[in-house]
A and B are shown apart, each in its own frame.
Chain A
Amino acid sequence: MNVHQLLSGAGPVDAVTNQARAYRRLFSEWGWGGGDHAVHVDPRAGRDFSPLAKLDPGPEDVLLFHFSAYAPKLAEWLDRPQRKLLVSHNITPARWFWDFEPMTAVQCTIGREQLPRFAQGVDLAAGVSAYNAAELADAGARETAVVPILVDRARLGAPRPDGEEVSGPPHVLFVGRITPHKRHDLLIRAFALYRREHAPDARLMLVGEPLTPGYGEAIRALGERLAPGAVAIESMLSSDQLADRWRAAHVFVCLSEHEGFCIPLLEAFHFGVPVVARAIGGIPEVAGDAVLLLDQPDPALVAELIHLAVSDAGLRGELRGRGRARLEVFEFARTAAKLRESVDRAAGSV
């Protein structure tokens, strides 16, 4: 079978591109052919992706659309006669971007407007979580499936040895793009309270690319004002550096307003880092019972939960154990099987 992947953009570090690469590795293992194509190919993405204009699929081939935002030239391919599978990676509501980056807001708005066309124009529409799949069903998809994000733990780096606790002052970690909906502002406020009430020497590590240099600077300034010298922002880390940040963390805190899946939860489980997170979007189904979940991110409550997650050894151990169990649910081979089943369904072979 030939499966061609179609993306709106292929970049050096973005999650959708990485997921397409992981899919291709699996397709090759399964003996499937096909190519990977994007409307915009960033030169830093390497030679794995070709311009979409060069795609020339055979009549029996499967077209796999990765949909994550505005994709004008991708939509034209919905009219092709081949069998089609959509993998929807979740589109952030535009309302978080208007004030800071209107261009992104427009792309999200049009992306959401286009979603029904994509959902209805394919043989099978897959979401990365049940939350996402429900959106696809609402958008009119004939058939839906859930294909979680593929996370290859072998590529994440080694966690600390069992039973070895991280030492030194408390390190609070968040990994994710620095964008308004991720609510770094709330996290900094909660962290400042935690420092004041419990741990004056605590540090906050924010790892991610800023939406714009200006927005990154605004977050940096807020951190400097509320917790002087204690908030570090790092971007473009190598996988080894990122693994070091995880191994140094006492707790991972996510107060995002919108998440379709939240890969860092699985990374936290892998590295044995307790998690405090907001119960939003796809987070509860990834988190299961292994995360301290909040409905409303009151900064004082978050601060107190950070304190518990850092200082209560029994709680930390329990969360670690449950996290390991969640990793099994999202184990690579299991997710790969779901992907294969979805491609087969889309191809009409099951």
Chain B
Amino acid sequence: MKPEDAVAAARAEVARRKAEGGYAESGGELTIEPMDQVSRAMLMEWALVEPDMDKLRSTRRLGGPITWLKRLLARGLQQYHNEVNYQQTRFNIHVLRKLIELEDRVERVERREP
């Protein structure tokens, strides 16, 4: 069979088998549907917690060694901070999603008013 003919042949065979009771699908719990997001780019950007290590510094005179120590401590605690950031970001994102859903509902209600 030529590749160009394969899809048509497969379609015909599916139709034939279905007519004989074949190809009954058996479902499965997992369903994947795309969800169109609302564009609120800046809020989303802020919702992501990503501390800038460059901003971790000492503002004292001759604070270089303190800056170094602070950054060393932050690196040592990175695993913990990653977890905190993740939890905070997860919360932010879900609140943002709720907010966007509410905005949409308000918009729908407003559209119905004269």
- Listed in ascending order, the chain A residues whose CB lies under 8 Å from chain B are 53, 70, 72, 93-96, 98-99, 102-103, 105-107, 109-110, 113, 180-181, 183, 185, 188-189, 192-193, 197, 218-219, 221-222, 225-226, 257, 289-294, 298-301, 303-305, 307-309, 312, 314-315, 318-319, 322
Contacts and interface: CB of A to CB of B under 8 A. Distances in A.
Nearest to A309: B6
Interface string B25-55: 1101111111111010100110110100010
Nearest to A219: B30
Given A106-B93, A319-B3, A95 B36 contact: yes
B41 A113 contact: yes
A185 B1 CA distance: 29
A225 B93 contact: no
A291 B13 CA distance: 19
B48 A318 contact: no
B67 interface: no
A38 B79 CA distance: 21
B34 A197 contact: no
Given A94-B37, A98-B35, A301-B10, A221 B3 contact: no
Contact of A318 (B3, B30, B31, B33): B3
B23 A102 contact: no
Tell me if A's interface is mostly helix, strand, loop or mixed.
Answer: helix
A191 B48 CA distance: 39
B105 interface: no
Interface of B: 1-4, 6-7, 9-11, 13-14, 17-18, 22-23, 25-26, 28-37, 39, 41, 44-45, 47-48, 50, 54, 89-90, 93-94, 97
Per CB-CB distance, the 8 closest pairs between chain A and chain B, nearest first, are A304-B10, A95-B34, A113-B41, A300-B23, A98-B35, A102-B93, A222-B30, A300-B14
A197 B97 CA distance: 43
Contacts of A308: 1, 6, 9-10
Contacts, number: 117
A193 B23 CA distance: 6
Contact of A197 (B11, B17, B32): B17
Given A98-B97, A300-B18, A183 B32 contact: yes
A197 B10 CA distance: 13
Contacts of B3: 289-292, 315, 318-319, 322
Contacts of B10: 301, 304-305, 307-308
Given A292-B6, A300-B14, A312 B1 contact: yes
A106 B28 CA distance: 28
Contacts of A309: 6
B41 to A, nearest CB: 4
A301 B28 contact: no
A106 B56 CA distance: 26
